[in-house]
Structure 1
Amino acid sequence: MTIQNSIVDDIDEIFRLYIIATEFQKSKFFVHWPEFDRSLIETEITENRQWKMVIDDQIACIWATTFSDHQIWGEKDSDPALYIHRIATNPDFRGNNFVTKIVEWAEKYAQENDKKYIRMDTIGENRGLIEHYKKCGFEYLGYFKLDTIEGLPDHYALADACLFERKIKNEK
């Protein structure tokens, strides 16, 4: 297993995984991901913020990162944090608890970039996902109404945000 930045040649596979994840969300929950704009993913790739986990030459899982997320985190965005977004797993690799592996990677990546927190959000009351993130070491901070959703993907308009935070264990 390796974790590396996604490249432009990965875009079709990234969108395939988003479509699969969205269809799963639609089958289980009211809130689901919209179709993401291709330019968003291209920008993340160019800025080295789109990641992939590769197993046996296949993309097993993808996610995006940023060091700023003011629209969702408000004043707390001034804290030095790594934000993780849009984890999507290849169905051929489901059940491997990739969030735990991403968190292990994120701990190191955050330390290398002088961050003190790893943060995530989800939209709506997905109790299973909330419990899963808690088991992965995140503190569940509760539901929050966002001040503005302008510029955010459409699903942020459908429900309140659930916020999660994990303090980096071993700071440099």
Structure 2
Amino acid sequence: MEIKNCTLSDGNEILLLYQAARNLQVQRKMVMWPPFEKSFIEREIQEGKQWKITSGDVIACNWVVTFEDKEIWGERDMKDAIYIHRICTNSTLRGNRYIDNIVEWSRGYASQTGKRFVRLDTLGNNTKLIEHYTSAGFNFLGMFELTDTSSLPSHYQDEPNCCLFEIDLHAT
């Protein structure tokens, strides 16, 4: 297993992972991600935002990291955190708790980049995801209603209730 930035040659595989995730979201009656354009994914890759865990020649899991998220975190976003978005696990490799690898990696990455927090969000009252993220070390801060979602992807307009999670690297 290896964690590294995605490359442009990963674009199609990432799109397939996202489609599988959308299928699972429909099946489980969760808030569904919109389809993402390949050009959007490629731009994130070029900006160094897309990360992956590989297992052999396969992307086992991928996610996006950003350094600001004002639309979701509001006044809490003080440029002191990394924000994890769109964690997506290869459907043939679910159940391997890649979230634990992501948490371990993200703690180091946040520390290396001078950040205090690792944060993520999920939409709706998804009790299984709340349990999943808290079992991996995130503190559940609660559910908040987003007020200005105009610049966010469409699924944020469809479900304004957002669960916020963080890990404080300075906490004991």
Which deviates more, 145-154 or 13-22? Answer: 145-154
**C-alpha deviation, 1:43, in angstroms:** 1.6
**C-alpha deviation, 1:145, in angstroms:** 1.2
Q: Which runs of 5+ in 2 are unaligned?
A: none
**Aligned residue in 2 for 1:7:** 7
**C-alpha deviation, 1:113, in angstroms:** 0.1
**Aligned residue in 1 for 2:127:** 127
One-letter identity of the residue aligned with 2:114: D
1:89-136 per-position Cα deviation (integer Å, ceiling 9, x unaligned): 111211110001100000110110000000000001110000110111
**Aligned residue in 2 for 1:32:** 32
Query: The residue matched to 1:150 in structure 2 has which SS?
Result: coil
**Aligned residue in 2 for 1:112:** 112
Q: Which runs of 5+ in 1 are unaligned?
A: none
Decide whether the 8 Å contact of 1:29 with 1:126 is kept in 2: no
Decide whether the 8 Å contact of 1:33 with 1:155 is kept in 2: yes
For residues 78 and 70 of structure 1, what CA distance do their matches in structure 2 show? 9
Matched, 1:45 2:45: yes
Which deviates more, 146-155 or 108-117? Answer: 146-155
Identity score, percent: 46
One-letter identity of the residue aligned with 2:167: R
One-letter identity of the residue aligned with 1:168: L
**Aligned residue in 1 for 2:87:** 87
Which deviates more, 110-119 or 155-164? Answer: 155-164
CA RMSD, Structure 1 to Structure 2 (Å):
1.5
- Aligned structure 1 segments of 4 or more residues deviating by more than 3 angstroms: none
Decide whether the 8 Å contact of 2:30 with 2:126 is kept in 1: no
For residues 171 and 32 of structure 2, what CA distance do their matches in structure 1 show? 35
Task: Report the TM-score, using the length of structure 1 for normalisation.
Answer: 0.95
Decide whether the 8 Å contact of 1:121 with 1:161 is kept in 2: yes
Decide whether the 8 Å contact of 2:12 with 2:38 is kept in 1: no
1:67-88 per-position Cα deviation (integer Å, ceiling 9, x unaligned): 1000000000115001000000
**Aligned residue in 1 for 2:54:** 54
Q: Structure 1 pair 68/97, CA: closer, same or farther in 2 (3 Å)? A: same
Task: Report the TM-score, using the length of structure 2 for normalisation.
Answer: 0.95
Matched, 1:146 2:146: yes
